[in-house]
């Protein structure tokens, strides 16, 4: 049974309100990256801005991995 897909809308809401702490990465099961964002305040916001443009691709990648049973 495949795991339910992650939502891009929820990922963007988490990015917008709690992204400086990496919460959107924890939502996408990227714990290491989430801890890195948490400890560095999203690389002093540089990583936060990068995620603005790369978040759709990150969600697609996670959903593909989940559909194949890798996460």
Percent of the chain with pLDDT over 90: 89
Q: Taking all residues of the chain, what is their mean pLDDT, rounded to a whole number?
A: 94
Q: What is the pLDDT, as a whole number, of residue 70?
A: 79
10-44 pLDDT tens trace: 999 999 999 999 999 999 999 999 999 999 999 99
pTM: 0.92
DSSP secondary structure of 12-61: HHHHHHHGGGTHHHHHTT-HHHHHHHHHHHHHHTHHHHHHHHHHHHHHHH
């Amino acid at each position: 049974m495949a795991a339910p897909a992650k939502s891009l809308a929820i990922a963007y809401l988490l990015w917008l309100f709690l992204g400086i702490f990496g919460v959107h990465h924890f939502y996408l099961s990227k714990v290491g990256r989430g801890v890195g964002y948490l400890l560095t305040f999203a690389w002093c916001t540089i990583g936060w801005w990068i995620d603005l443009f790369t978040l759709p691709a990150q969600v697609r990648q996670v959903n593909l991995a989940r559909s194949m049973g890798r996460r």
